[in-house]
């Protein structure tokens, strides 16, 4: 749930109300639905910290709590398995199992999160260890024959119970319950080993502290303000970390090719030796597990039960995009080469470390603006409040900041989300937005407490968004570019999926859907970042919030969106194919060699020799193995949904509430394709993606 800057303080309630009034008056062209969102309900009122979650831990406490959670859960699961067959019922088996597993997840999820966000390295290590044991625990539970036997054959009484039965039994059978006991034991042991490899890989990245030192001349092109935000060595050189904001700034702005190349090479060699070995060992182990379970490859195993269903469907989908995207990328590269030649007449090729830099130059040349100019109109607080206002309008909700929130780091903030109609609490949202040492790179949303029905009452979900946006610098607030704005929409889209879920069961709630459907709501909602009316509504110059982005600049920003679409989508396609090549292999693989071949084949330029991208391809060790294609697959569905919104306007509440009711609230209570067809009124087609990218192809999926 991927790859973006928020300031530390939201205005007081009175200032927010004044800003929203000015926003609506200045924007003018926003639809009535968005105006209603800003003015049709009371202003946000800070709410006291209700002790949402425990967020501060003493040394040894996470390890103790994690072990206790497993012990208590095992006792409850043993009780289910011990029920005599004559006394088993749907309530005492399936429903109890869902409650017990959901209780366990709610207990462990905050502990696991600490492994990615906790500033204290020792406590973070406990969080990563809990993540390891959690993965092993889940694998063990879903391969227990006694639990499977206790639940298999129970008779559901309602359609909802039928869905729970089907999905629960499928999960057990997918984990090898059709195997003999000795083969099942082998699978269980291999999966435990696999979890350990994945956790070690991720911990290596989280704990990496690689930096580079440059002189001011070597960083020519970076603004004085940006330079002032960098650390300094004892000799006065500037320190560039391998955190996202530093990497992005150098690759986009540094005028010296050698500086960009050095950062690019270092970025793609972080943890190269240990993580390459861990990934390659994991790939072989996955293949062995798949073979033991009766599948040809790991990809065949993973895709069983997903929307795509099999590897041939996925590869046909990816192959259908190859030539159209290659042609578009070729044209884009020729334009970038022309720009490079204007700077360096002897240039003959565009190198990978040139792309972001030349695209930034292209934006200045063709669209007459630069990203620094654009960011001035998008202070992060304005953007955040605007996103809340838009989601409030679409889905009938409101966001009230929690005061004095107890969290794992001082800059973390939290909001109570409530229904506008009756102000009933929907859930809570944590935001942990700034890069810091020891924190996971990238951007993700995670569930910390699941929304479900418990004792005839709906529980209050709690979610967190963790990111690495630029922090404020001195007195200047955090400012966002289009990537940051789009990513905020994306991750809050995941949050909406979890917070608004009305699924009665924790194991089927929110984002617990097919892996190749889970990105659909988030990729749908990220399109709001590019709607002219919405983008204008988010703007307000950081020196004067009533000064909206000028229309001519807004038009140029929107027009520039697809200037690099071919290269961007080709990159996602290359990563998707790389993933599938790893996981359709029937034996050991050389991940670096496959990366080199796939990079050249799909991106149209050679990779930098000596780099090891698979060592940082963290999605493949964090749940997206044989599943990275899902970003492109889900994008097709997302753009079909967006087309439906465009009929009546992107801020139309009627369509927004249909989307909430038909998709966001459903969780995994029906297959994703059923939810899509119910919302759209027809089957989704791939032409929406081609049209979005600007490719003239007539082909339906």
HSE of 271 in the Cβ direction (CA atoms, 13 Å)?
22
Interval 232-239 mean pLDDT? 97
Please indicate whether residue 491 is annotated as part of the active site.
Answer: yes
Residues in Cβ contact with 680 at an 8 Å cutoff, skipping those fewer than 6 apart:
640, 641, 644
Q: Look at residues 467, 565, 461 and name the one whose alpha carbon lies nearest to residue 116.
A: 467
How is residue 421 written in tokens?
């109609």
Q: How far is CA 406 from the centre of its chain?
A: 24
Confidence of residue 155 (pLDDT cuts 50, 70, 90): very high
- Interval 579-602 mean pLDDT: 97
Please answer whether residues 108 and 134 qualify as being in contact, where contact means their C-beta atoms are separated by less than 8 angstroms.
yes
- Give which of 324, 313, 496 is closest to 393, Cα–Cα: 496
Cα gap 281→359, rounded to integer Å: 37
What is the residue extent of each domain of the chain?
61-206, 209-265
| 3-state SS track over 69-134 | HHHHHHHHHHHHHHCCHHHCCCHHHHHHHHHHHHHHHHHHHHHHHHHHHCCCHHHHHHHHHHHHHH
* CA 455 – CA 408 distance, rounded (Å): 30
Whole-model pTM?
A: 0.88
Q: What is the pLDDT of residue 28?
A: 35
Tokens standing for residue 411: 């800059």
pLDDT in tens, 596-622: 999 999 999 999 999 999 999 999 999
**What number is the average pLDDT over the span 25-29?**
33
Nearest to 429 by CA among 388, 479, 393, 396: 388
User: d(Cα 260, Cα 614) in Å, to the nearest integer?
Assistant: 20
Give, rounded to a whole angstrom, the gap between the first and last alpha carbons of the chain.
24
Measured CA to CA, the distance from residue 489 to residue 494 in angstroms comes to 9
Distance CA 589, CA 98 (A): 38
Q: What does the angle CA 472 – CA 473 – CA 475 come to, to the nearest 5 degrees?
A: 90
pLDDT in tens, 424-471: 999 999 999 988 887 888 899 999 999 999 999 999 999 999 999 888
- Whether residue 29 is predicted with pLDDT greater than 70 in this model: the reply is no
Residues 6 or more apart whose Cβ sits within 8 Å of residue 161: 90, 94, 95
pLDDT band at 244 (very low <50, low <70, confident <90, very high): confident
Distances (CA, A) of 471 to 202, 476, 591: 24, 10, 35
Rounded distance, CA 688 to CA 526, Å? Answer: 15
Task: Quote the Cα angle for 52-114-510, to 5°.
Answer: 60
Catalytic residue among 126, 491, 514, 670: 491
Residues above pLDDT 70, as percent of the chain: 92
* Architecture in CATH for domain 61-206: Up-down Bundle (1.20)
């Amino acid at each position: 749930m991927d790859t973006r800057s928020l300031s530390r303080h939201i205005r007081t309630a009175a200032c927010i109300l004044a800003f929203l009034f000015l926003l609506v008056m200045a924007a003018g062209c926003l639809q009535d639905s968005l105006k209603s969102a800003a003015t049709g309900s009371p202003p946000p009122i800070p709410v006291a910290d209700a002790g949402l979650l425990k967020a501060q831990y003493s040394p040894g406490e996470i390890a103790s709590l994690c072990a206790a959670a497993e012990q208590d859960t095992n006792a409850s699961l043993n009780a289910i398995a011990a029920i005599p067959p004559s006394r088993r019922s749907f309530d005492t088996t399936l429903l109890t199992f869902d409650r017990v597993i959901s209780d366990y997840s709610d207990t462990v999820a905050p502990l696991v999160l600490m492994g990615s966000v906790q500033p204290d390295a020792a406590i973070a290590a406990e969080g990563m260890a809990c993540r390891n044991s959690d993965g092993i625990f889940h694998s063990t539970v879903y391969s227990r024959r006694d639990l499977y036997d206790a639940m298999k054959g129970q008779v559901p009484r309602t359609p909802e119970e039928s869905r729970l039965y089907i999905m629960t039994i499928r999960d057990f059978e997918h984990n090898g319950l059709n195997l003999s006991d000795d083969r099942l034991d082998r699978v269980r042991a291999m999966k435990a080993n696999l979890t350990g490899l994945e956790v070690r890989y991720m911990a290596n990245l989280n704990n990496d502290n690689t930096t580079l030192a440059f002189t001011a001349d070597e960083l020519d092109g970076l603004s004085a303000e940006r330079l002032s935000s960098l650390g300094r060595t004892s000799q006065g050189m500037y320190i560039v970390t391998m955190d996202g904001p530093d990497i992005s700034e150098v690759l986009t702005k540094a005028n010296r090719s050698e500086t960009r190349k050095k950062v690019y090479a270092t970025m793609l060699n972080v943890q190269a030796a240990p993580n390459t070995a861990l990934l390659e060992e994991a790939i072989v182990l996955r293949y062995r597990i798949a073979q033991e379970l009766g599948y040809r490859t790991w990809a065949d195993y993973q895709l069983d039960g997903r929307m795509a269903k099999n590897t041939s469907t996925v590869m046909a989908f990816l192959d259908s995009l190859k030539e159209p995207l290659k042609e578009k990328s070729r044209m884009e590269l020729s334009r970038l080469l022309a720009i490079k030649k204007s700077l360096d007449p002897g240039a003959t090729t565009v190198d990978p470390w040139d792309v972001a830099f030349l695209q930034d130059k292209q934006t200045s040349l063709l669209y007459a603006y630069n990203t620094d100019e654009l960011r001035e109109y998008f202070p992060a607080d304005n953007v955040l409040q605007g996103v809340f206002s838009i989601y409030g309008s679409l889905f009938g909700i409101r966001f009230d900041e929690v005061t004095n929130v107890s969290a794992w780091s001082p800059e973390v903030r939290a909001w109570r989300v409530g229904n506008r109609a009756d102000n009933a609490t929907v859930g809570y949202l944590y935001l942990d937005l700034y890069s810091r040492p020891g924190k996971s790179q990238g951007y993700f949303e995670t569930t910390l407490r699941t929304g479900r029905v418990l004792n005839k009452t709906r529980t209050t979900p709690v979610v967190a968004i963790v990111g690495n946006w630029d922090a404020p610098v001195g007195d200047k607030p955090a400012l966002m570019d289009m990537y940051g704005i789009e990513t905020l929409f994306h991750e809050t889209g995941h949050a909406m999926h979890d917070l608004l879920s009305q699924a009665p069961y924790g194991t089927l709630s929110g984002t617990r859907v097919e892996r190749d459907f889970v990105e659909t709501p988030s990729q749908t909602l990220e399109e709001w970042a590019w709607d002219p009316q919405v983008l204008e509504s988010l703007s307000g110059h950081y020196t004067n919030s009533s000064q909206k982005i000028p229309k001519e600049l807004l038009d140029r920003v929107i027009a520039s969106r697809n200037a690099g679409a071919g290269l961007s989508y080709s990159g996602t396609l290359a990563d998707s194919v790389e993933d599938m090549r790893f996981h359709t292999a029937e034996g050991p693989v050389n991940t670096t060699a496959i990366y080199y071949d796939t990079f050249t084949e799909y991106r149209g330029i050679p990779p930098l020799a000596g780099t090891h991208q698979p060592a940082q391809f963290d999605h493949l060790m964090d749940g997206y193995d044989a599943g990275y294609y899902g970003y492109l697959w889900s994008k097709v569905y997302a753009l079909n949904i967006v087309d439906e919104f465009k009929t009546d306007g992107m801020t139309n509440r009627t369509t927004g509430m249909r989307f909430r009711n038909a998709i966001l609230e459903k969780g995994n209570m029906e297959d994703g394709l059923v939810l899509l067809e119910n919302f759209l009124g027809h089957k989704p087609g791939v032409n929406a993606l081609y049209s979005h990218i600007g490719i003239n192809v007539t082909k339906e999926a």
